[in-house]
Amino acid sequence: MNREEKKASVSQLNDKFSRASVAILAEFSGMGVEELRQVRKELRAAGAELQVVKNKLAIRASVGTTAESLGVHFKGSTVVAFGYADPVAPTKALKAAADKQKKLKVKAGVIEGTVVDLEDFKKIALLPSKDVLIAELIGRFNGPITGFAGSLNGILSKFVRALDAVQQQREDS
């Protein structure tokens, strides 16, 4: 790889690190091409991409981005999973792939500007997606309002029935 190719590679990686809401590093030593292709396919389905990186170039590319503090983790055969929208979906997909492919070992990552280690990564992978969390939150806000509306409806119904009973008594007498 000549100097110009390295500059282009660093520029491309820097752009990906800058745009990504999630960037997760993993070691893939011992994995075959077909195994890596399968992991790429699974990540693509989750809206992410997987890129094999040269460590020195990746360290240079991460300077000035939220991934800059990951420099110490660029050792060995490294791949980076980039996600640009929902950070949970790529995290889940990479965890599932790492569970299937024992040779794929997650090192660390950056999720929306926060550095996460392996333990945090596992916890985040268990979270529901952002859309599901928002729906649950709205449901929790909506629950008390719905209950209150039901209570008011019940009270008004009883009041109307009482008025009907009074009217019925007056008509009977």
Q: Are 78 and 52 contacting, i.e. CB atoms less than 8 angstroms apart?
A: yes
**Adjacent-strand bridge partners of 116:** 109
Per-residue pLDDT tens for 17-63? 999 889 999 999 888 899 999 999 999 998 899 999 999 999 999 88
Give the count of domains, the chain.
2
Structure tokens at 129: 């997606």
Per-residue pLDDT tens for 7-19? 999 999 999 999 9
Question: What type of residue sits at position 21?
Answer: S
The answer on 104 and 22 residing in a single domain is yes
Q: Which of 79, 143, 135, 128 is nearest to 107 (CA)?
A: 79
Instruction: Give pLDDT, residue 134.
Output: 86
Domain ranges, residue 148: 129-173
pLDDT, mean over the chain: 88
- Domain with residue 79: its CATH number is 3.30.70.1730
The answer on 156 and 91 residing in a single domain is no
| Spatial distance between the Cα atoms of 165 and 112, rounded to a whole number of angstroms | 63
Taking residues 81-98, report their average pLDDT: 88
Q: What is the pTM of this model?
A: 0.71
The answer on 147 and 98 residing in a single domain is no
| Domain's final residue, options 112, 127, 142 | 127
